[in-house]
C-alpha cells in the first residue's frame, strides 16, 4: 500500500533540515512525499470532527521565487520524486483548505512561531491540535538532520500506546531498523504489559521483532530517558487519556518531547492503524 | 469522570437512540439559546455604542469615527483573530456544503466583535449576517463537542443560524425559513423540526430579555386597493434595480479597493472615512439605519421625493464603501433600509405623477420595498416575505408582499443568476447543494472507486507471455511497469493486441514495449472525480490509470464510478 507524507516547506535553513528529515523518513519507510509551498500565512485543515487553522510563521513565505527550486534540489538529492500540491479549495480568498488524507505529516515542534523560538519543551498549539485531530501520525523531527539507526516505541499500555507499537512494528519491518521498547511504570509489573500485548495479539510480533525492552519500575521517568539511543526514532502515542487527565497528571508525550531531542513520530487519539 | 465522558456521546444514550431527531431537538434548544444570547449581546452592544457616539455626530471630526471603527474591526479580524473580513454567510454555506458544517470556534465571536466596532462607530452594515456566522459556529462547535456526525452537525449549524435570526428580529418563522432557503438549501424533514425548535428557543430568549415587541410595527393598518396592487409591479422593478445596483456596487468596490496598496486596516479606514463624510450630508446612511425604517413606516420621514431617492443612493454607496473596503458586517440591515427608501421614493413619485389617485400610506410601500430588496438580493422570496411580515406585523399586505417578492426575485435572477451570498461560491464551483451532481462527486474520492485487480506486465515481455497474462486476467487493461524500479511506463489495452491475435508468428517477435500506449492520461489520488470524468469525456475513454509517486496504483472506470455515484446519491437523497 502506497503511503504519503505531507510536508509544509519552509524556505530557510531550518526548513531545509526539516525537509531532509522528511525525505530520510520517506526513504526508510518507502513513503512518497507531498510538499506544500505556502503562498499565504494561514491555511485550514478539515479533519473528521475538527477544523484546524494553521497560522504559519512568516518565515514560511521567505523568498518564494526560490522555494520550489530549493525543495526540488533536496528531493532530487534524495532520489525521490515529490508531488507539489496547490490548494484547490478556499474557505476565504486568502485561506486555502489543504487535504488531510495523508498517511503521515511532518510538523516541526511549532509551525506558527519564529524559528528562533522553536526548542525543546515547546510544542505549538496548532501542532497539538493537528496531533489531536489527525487520522495520521505526526513526524516531529529534531532541529538538525540526523539519520536514525533504530526505532524505539514508548509503551505505556494505553490504547494509543498499542497503536504506536503497531506503527513502530510496521516501520521497523519496512525500514529494517531494529526496534526497541521503553516502559516506565511504578504500579504495574511487566506481566501487566505482557497481558496487554497478548490481548492485542502482539505478543508474537514483539517477541520476534523487538531487540530490547527497556522496562523500569523505579526512578524518575525523565532520568530513564537517557537510555534512549541518541539516534533512534521515538514512536509514541499522545493524548490517549483525554484532556482532563492530561491536565491533572501531565502528559507523557509532553515530558518526552521536552526531554528528548530525537525525532518523534506521534500517533494521536484519532490515528487509525492501517490494515496490514 | 466516566459519567462526563458518557455525556459527551449523547448519541449512545438509550432515549436518543430511539430517534436521532430527539437528540437534535434537545441539542438544538441549547444551540438556539446560545445563538439567541449571542444575537442579544451584539444588539445591546450596538445600542450602547450608537447611543454613546450619538452626541458626537455633530462635531467636525465625527467623520473619523466610522474610519476608526472600521480600522479597529479590520485589525481585530486580521491580527488578533486571524480571519478575513466579510460577513461570513458564504463561509457558513461553504462549510455546510463541503465539510459537514465544520466551523472554527473563533468564528463564534470574531464577527460579533468586528461588526460591533464597524456598525457601532457608524459604518453602514448590518449585524444579522455576523450573528448568523456566530450562531452557526456555536452550533458547529457544540456538535463537535458531542462528537456528532456530519449530518447532525449540519443540522445544528442550521439551528444556530435560525436561533440567531429569530432572536435578533424576534422572528422565529424567518429564522427557520432563512436557514432552510439560504444556509442549507434543502427542505428535509430531518432538519426542519430541530431548526424550528432552535428558532423558537432563540426568539424566546430575545422575548425574555428584550421584551416581546415587533421591530417595525406600524401605528396604522394598510388598506391596499387594486390600484396599489398594480403599482406593486413597478415597485418590484424599482426594488430589483436597487438590489442590482447594490450587488454591483459592492463587487465594484471589492475590485477597486485592493488596487490601493496600503495595509488592510488602512484600507478599511479609508472606506470608513468616506462613509463618515457622506454621513455629514445624509445622516441616515450611518449605522444600521433602523431609525429611518421606523420613521418611514410611521410615515414621519422628511417629505420630498428627492430626499428619499438621494438617501437610497447614498445608503447604497455607504454600504459598498463600508463592506467593500474592509469593514465588517452584513447586508441584511442595509437591504432593509435601501428597500424602504426605494419604496418611499417610488410612492412619492407615484403621488407626484398621479396626484388624484388615493394611494395607500407611504409606509406600506416602504415595507413592500424592503421585501422586494431582500428577495432580490438574497434571491430568497420566502425569507423576504416572512421577514417583513414578522418584523412589521402587517399581515394585511401579504398579497402585495408575495407579488413584489416574486417579481423582484425573478428580475434580479435574470441579471444576476446567483444571489449575493452564493455568487462567489458559484463562480469558484464550490456551491455543492445536497443531491446535486457536483455534491455527489465531491463526496466521493478516487480511493473509493479505484480498482486494484489489474495485472502489471513488463516492457520486455513477449506477446506470447503477455497473452498468457490476458487469459488469467479479468480486465482489459494492463499497466506496464519497469521491472527494476516499478515505475509506471504505460498501458496496454486489449484493443492494442487485436491486430496480432490471429498472427501467431508475431507472438515471439513483438514485445510489450512496442505496443503499449505511453501517451495515456493519468490521474492522481487527490484529483477530483469531477475532473476525472471530464478527462474521460474529452478523451472518449472509459477507464484511466491512477498513478502515485510514479507507480501504478489502480484503475478508475466509469462503470464503478456510476455504481458508487448511485450509492452516494441514495444516501444523500434518502435524508430529504
pLDDT at A115: 57
Q: Which of B1, B526, B527 to mutate to test the interface with A (most CBs of A within 10 A)?
A: B526
Nearest CA-CA distance, residue B136 and chain A, Å: 14
Mean pLDDT, chain B, integer: 87
The pLDDT tens digits for A31-51 are: 889 999 999 888 999 988 888
| pLDDT band for position B14 (cuts 50, 70, 90) | low
Contact call for A92 and B84, based on CB within 8 A: yes
> Would you give the DSSP letter of residue A109?
S
Which residues make beta-bridge pairs with B523?
B546
pLDDT at B3: 57
Terminal Cα-to-Cα distance of chain A (whole angstroms) = 9
- Percent of all residues in chain B with a pLDDT value above 70, rounded to a whole number: 96
pLDDT at B515: 85
List of chain A residues whose C-beta atoms are within 8 Å of the C-beta of residue B445: 101
The pLDDT tens digits for B26-39 are: 999 999 999 999 99
pLDDT at B322: 92
List of chain B residues whose C-beta atoms are within 8 Å of the C-beta of residue A49: 102, 144, 147
Among chain B residues, the shortest Cα distance to A54 is held by B82
Calculate Rg over the CA atoms of chain A.
18
pLDDT above 60: residue B1: no
List of chain B residues whose C-beta atoms are within 8 Å of the C-beta of residue A55: 82
All three cell numbers of A53: 487553522
pLDDT at B8: 66
Alpha-helical (H) ranges within B416-524 are: 423-427, 437-442, 446-449, 463-472, 494-497, 512-515
Mean pLDDT, chain A, integer: 86
Distance, in Å, from the CA atom of B545 to the CA atom of B556, rounded to the nearest integer, reads 6
| Residues in contact with B153: Cβ distance below 8 Å, sequence separation at least 6, in sequence order | B100, B101, B102, B139, B140, B143, B144
- Rounded average pLDDT over B15-19: 64
- Rounded average pLDDT over B168-197: 90
| pLDDT band for position A240 (cuts 50, 70, 90) | low
Residue B171, Cβ neighbours under 10 Å: how many? 25
pLDDT at B321: 93
**If you average pLDDT over each of A238-242, A244-248, B8-12, B447-451, which comes out highest?**
B447-451
Distance, in Å, from the CA atom of A234 to the CA atom of A225, rounded to the nearest integer, reads 11
| pLDDT band for position B55 (cuts 50, 70, 90) | confident
pLDDT above 70: residue B575: no
The pLDDT tens digits for B222-261 are: 888 888 889 999 999 999 999 999 999 999 998 998 888 8
In degrees and rounded to multiples of 5, residue B478 shows phi and psi of -135, 115
List of chain B residues whose C-beta atoms are within 8 Å of the C-beta of residue A50: 102, 144
Residue with cell 473619523: B64
pLDDT above 90: residue B81: no
pLDDT above 70: residue B525: yes
| pLDDT band for position A275 (cuts 50, 70, 90) | low
Nearest CA-CA distance, residue A78 and chain B, Å: 14
In degrees and rounded to multiples of 5, residue B551 shows phi and psi of -120, 145
pLDDT above 70: residue B18: no
| pLDDT band for position A1 (cuts 50, 70, 90) | low
pLDDT at B2: 56
CA angle at B501 for the pair B499 and B507, rounded to the nearest 5°: 105
Q: Which residue has the higher pLDDT, A80 or B300?
A: A80
A1 touches chain B (CB under 8 A): no
Terminal Cα-to-Cα distance of chain B (whole angstroms) = 38
Contact call for A242 and B5, based on CB within 8 A: yes
List of chain A residues whose C-beta atoms are within 8 Å of the C-beta of residue B103: 51
Residue with cell 424599482: B238
Q: Could you tell me the pTM of the whole model?
A: 0.84
CA nearest to A214, candidates A231, A199, A197, A226: A226
Q: Which helix (H) or strand (E) holds B553?
A: strand B551-557
CA atoms in the 13 A half-sphere facing the CB of A216: 17
pLDDT at B189: 81
A244 touches chain B (CB under 8 A): yes
pLDDT at B447: 85
Lowest mean pLDDT among A238-242, B110-114, B558-562: A238-242
Considering only CB atoms, A2 lies closest to which of B83, B91, B551, namely B551
| pLDDT band for position A172 (cuts 50, 70, 90) | very high
The pLDDT tens digits for B201-227 are: 999 999 999 887 777 777 777 888 888
List of chain A residues whose C-beta atoms are within 8 Å of the C-beta of residue B257: none
Distance, in Å, from the CA atom of A60 to the CA atom of A11, rounded to the nearest integer, reads 6
Contact call for B104 and A53, based on CB within 8 A: yes
The pLDDT tens digits for B352-411 are: 898 888 888 888 899 999 999 999 999 999 999 999 889 888 888 889 999 999 999 999
Chains A and B: how many Cβ contacts under 8 Å? Answer: 57
Considering only CB atoms, B103 lies closest to which of A49, A51, A90, namely A51
- Does the structure's ipTM exceed the value 0.95? no
pLDDT at B429: 80
The pLDDT tens digits for B526-554 are: 788 888 999 999 988 888 999 887 788 89
Among chain A residues, the shortest Cα distance to B94 is held by A91
List of chain A residues whose C-beta atoms are within 8 Å of the C-beta of residue B99: 46, 51, 97
All three cell numbers of A100: 488531510
Task: With beta carbons less than 8 A apart as the criterion, state whether B5 and B170 touch.
Answer: no
A83 touches chain B (CB under 8 A): yes
CA-CA-CA-CA torsion sign (B290, B296, B299, B304): positive
Q: Is beta strand A264-267 parallel, antiparallel or unpaired with respect to A138-140?
A: antiparallel
A32 touches chain B (CB under 8 A): yes
The residue ranges of DSSP E strands in chain A, in sequence order, are: 3-8, 31-36, 42-46, 51-55, 83-84, 89-92, 95-98, 104-106, 138-140, 150-154, 179-184, 210-216, 232-237, 264-267
Q: Which of B97, B102, B114, B142 to mutate to test the interface with A (most CBs of A within 10 A)?
A: B102
pLDDT at A121: 55
Distance, in Å, from the CA atom of A106 to the CA atom of B221, rounded to the nearest integer, reads 68
Q: Which residue has the higher pLDDT, A25 or B573?
A: A25
Nearest CA-CA distance, residue B144 and chain A, Å: 6
pLDDT above 90: residue B298: no
What DSSP string runs through B464-486?
A: HHHHHHHHH-S-SEEEEE-TTT-
| Residues in contact with B481: Cβ distance below 8 Å, sequence separation at least 6, in sequence order | B456, B457, B458, B487, B488, B489, B551, B552
- Rounded average pLDDT over A128-139: 89
pLDDT at A112: 65
The pLDDT tens digits for B303-346 are: 788 888 999 999 999 999 999 998 888 888 999 999 999 999 99
The pLDDT tens digits for A193-206 are: 999 999 998 889 99
Residue with cell 525500514: A175
Which residues make beta-bridge pairs with B545?
B555
- Rounded average pLDDT over B55-81: 86
The pLDDT tens digits for B467-480 are: 888 888 888 888 99
| pLDDT band for position B153 (cuts 50, 70, 90) | very high
A90 touches chain B (CB under 8 A): yes
Task: With beta carbons less than 8 A apart as the criterion, state whether B457 and B218 touch.
Answer: no
pLDDT above 80: residue A244: no
CA atoms in the 13 A half-sphere facing the CB of B349: 15
Amino acid at each position: 500500500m502506497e503511503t504519503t507524507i505531507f510536508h509544509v516547506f519552509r524556505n530557510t535553513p531550518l526548513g531545509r533540515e526539516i525537509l531532509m528529515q522528511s525525505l530520510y523518513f520517506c526513504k526508510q519507510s518507502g513513503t512518497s512525499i507531498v510538499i506544500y509551498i505556502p503562498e499565504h500565512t494561514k491555511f485550514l485543515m478539515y479533519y473528521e470532527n475538527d477544523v484546524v487553522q494553521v497560522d504559519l510563521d512568516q518565515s514560511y513565505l521567505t523568498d518564494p521565487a526560490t522555494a520550489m527550486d530549493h525543495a526540488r534540489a533536496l528531493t532530487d538529492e534524495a532520489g525521490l520524486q515529490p508531488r507539489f500540491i496547490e490548494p484547490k479549495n478556499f474557505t476565504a480568498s486568502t485561506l486555502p483548505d489543504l487535504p488531510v488524507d495523508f498517511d503521515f505529516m511532518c510538523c516541526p515542534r511549532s509551525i506558527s512561531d519564529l524559528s528562533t523560538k522553536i526548542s525543546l519543551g515547546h510544542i505549538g498549539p496548532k501542532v497539538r491540535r493537528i496531533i489531536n485531530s489527525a487520522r495520521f501520525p505526526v513526524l516531529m523531527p529534531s532541529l538538525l538532520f540526523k539519520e536514525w539507526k533504530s526505532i524505539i516505541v514508548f509503551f505505556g499500555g494505553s490504547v494509543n500506546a498499542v497503536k504506536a507499537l503497531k506503527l513502530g512494528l510496521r516501520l521497523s519491518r519496512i525500514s529494517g531498523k531494529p526496534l526497541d521498547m521503553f516502559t516506565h511504570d511504578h504500579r504495574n509489573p511487566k506481566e501487566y504489559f505482557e497481558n496487554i500485548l497478548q490481548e492485542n495479539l502482539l505478543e508474537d510480533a514483539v517477541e520476534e521483532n523487538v531487540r530490547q525492552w527497556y522496562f523500569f519500575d523505579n526512578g524518575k521517568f525523565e532520568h530513564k530517558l537517557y537510555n534512549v539511543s541518541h539516534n533512534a526514532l521515538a514512536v509514541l502515542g499522545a493524548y490517549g487519556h483525554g484532556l482532563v487527565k492530561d491536565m491533572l497528571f501531565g502528559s507523557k508525550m509532553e515530558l518526552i518531547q521536552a526531554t528528548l531531542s530525537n525525532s518523534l513520530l506521534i500517533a494521536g487519539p484519532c490515528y487509525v492503524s492501517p490494515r496490514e | 469522570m466516566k459519567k462526563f465522558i458518557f455525556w459527551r456521546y449523547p448519541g449512545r444514550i438509550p432515549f436518543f437512540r430511539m430517534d436521532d431527531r430527539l437528540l437534535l431537538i434537545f441539542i438544538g434548544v441549547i444551540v438556539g439559546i446560545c445563538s439567541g444570547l449571542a444575537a442579544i449581546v451584539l444588539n445591546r452592544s450596538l445600542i450602547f455604542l450608537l447611543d454613546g457616539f450619538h452626541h458626537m455626530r455633530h462635531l467636525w471630526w465625527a467623520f473619523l469615527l466610522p474610519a476608526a471603527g472600521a480600522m479597529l474591526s479590520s485589525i481585530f479580524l486580521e491580527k488578533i483573530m486571524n480571519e478575513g473580513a466579510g460577513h461570513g454567510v458564504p463561509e457558513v454555506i461553504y462549510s455546510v456544503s463541503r465539510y459537514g458544517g465544520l466551523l472554527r470556534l473563533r468564528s463564534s465571536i470574531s464577527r460579533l466583535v468586528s461588526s460591533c466596532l464597524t456598525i457601532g462607530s457608524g459604518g453602514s452594515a448590518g449585524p444579522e449576517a455576523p450573528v448568523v456566522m456566530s450562531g452557526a459556529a456555536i452550533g458547529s462547535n457544540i456538535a463537535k463537542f458531542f462528537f456528532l456526525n456530519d449530518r447532525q452537525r449540519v443540522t445544528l449549524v442550521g439551528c444556530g443560524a435560525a436561533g440567531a435570526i429569530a432572536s435578533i428580529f424576534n422572528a422565529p418563522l424567518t429564522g427557520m425559513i432563512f436557514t432552510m432557503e439560504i444556509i442549507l438549501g434543502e427542505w428535509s424533514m430531518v432538519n426542519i423540526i430541530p431548526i424550528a425548535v432552535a428558532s423558537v428557543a432563540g426568539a424566546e430568549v430575545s422575548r425574555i430579555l428584550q421584551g416581546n415587541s415587533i421591530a417595525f410595527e406600524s401605528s396604522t393598518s394598510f388598506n391596499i386597493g387594486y390600484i396599489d396592487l398594480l403599482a406593486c409591479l413597478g415597485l418590484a422593478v424599482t426594488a430589483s434595480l436597487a438590489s442590482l445596483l447594490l450587488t454591483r456596487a459592492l463587487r465594484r468596490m471589492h475590485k477597486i479597493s485592493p488596487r490601493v496598496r496600503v495595509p488592510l486596516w488602512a484600507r478599511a479606514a479609508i472606506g470608513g472615512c468616506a462613509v463618515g463624510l457622506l454621513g455629514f450630508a445624509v445622516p441616515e446612511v450611518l449605522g444600521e439605519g433602523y431609525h429611518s425604517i421606523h420613521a418611514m413606516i410611521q410615515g414621519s420621514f422628511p417629505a420630498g421625493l428627492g430626499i428619499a431617492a438621494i438617501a437610497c443612493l447614498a445608503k447604497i454607496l455607504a454600504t459598498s464603501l463600508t463592506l467593500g473596503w474592509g469593514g465588517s458586517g452584513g447586508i441584511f440591515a442595509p437591504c432593509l433600509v435601501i428597500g424602504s427608501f426605494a419604496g418611499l421614493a417610488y410612492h412619492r413619485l407615484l403621488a407626484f405623477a398621479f396626484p388624484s389617485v388615493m394611494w395607500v400610506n407611504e409606509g406600506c410601500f416602504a415595507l413592500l420595498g424592503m421585501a422586494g430588496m431582500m428577495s432580490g438580493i438574497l434571491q430568497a422570496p420566502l425569507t423576504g416575505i416572512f421577514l417583513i411580515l414578522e418584523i412589521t406585523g402587517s399581515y394585511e399586505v401579504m398579497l402585495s408582499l408575495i407579488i413584489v417578492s416574486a417579481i423582484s426575485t425573478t428580475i434580479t435572477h435574470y441579471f444576476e443568476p446567483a444571489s449575493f451570498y452564493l455568487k462567489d461560491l458559484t463562480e469558484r464551483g464550490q456551491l455543492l447543494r445536497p443531491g446535486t451532481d457536483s455534491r455527489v462527486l465531491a463526496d466521493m474520492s478516487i480511493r473509493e472507486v479505484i480498482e486494484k485487480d489489474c495485472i502489471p506486465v513488463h516492457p520486455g515481455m513477449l506477446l506470447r507471455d503477455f497473452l498468457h497474462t490476458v487469459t488469467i486476467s479479468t480486465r482489459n487493461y494492463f499497466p506496464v511497469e519497469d521491472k527494476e524500479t516499478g515505475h509506471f511506463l504505460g498501458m496496454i489495452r486489449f484493443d492494442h493486441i487485436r491486430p496480432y491475435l490471429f498472427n501467431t508468428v508475431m507472438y515471439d517477435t513483438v514485445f510489450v514495449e512496442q505496443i503499449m500506449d505511453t501517451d495515456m492520461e493519468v490521474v492522481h489520488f487527490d484529483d477530483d472525480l469531477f475532473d476525472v470524468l471530464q478527462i474521460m469525456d474529452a478523451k472518449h475513454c472509459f477507464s484511466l490509470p491512477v498513478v502515485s509517486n510514479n507507480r501504478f496504483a489502480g484503475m478508475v472506470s466509469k462503470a464503478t464510478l456510476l455504481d458508487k455515484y448511485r450509492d452516494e446519491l441514495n444516501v444523500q437523497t434518502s435524508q430529504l
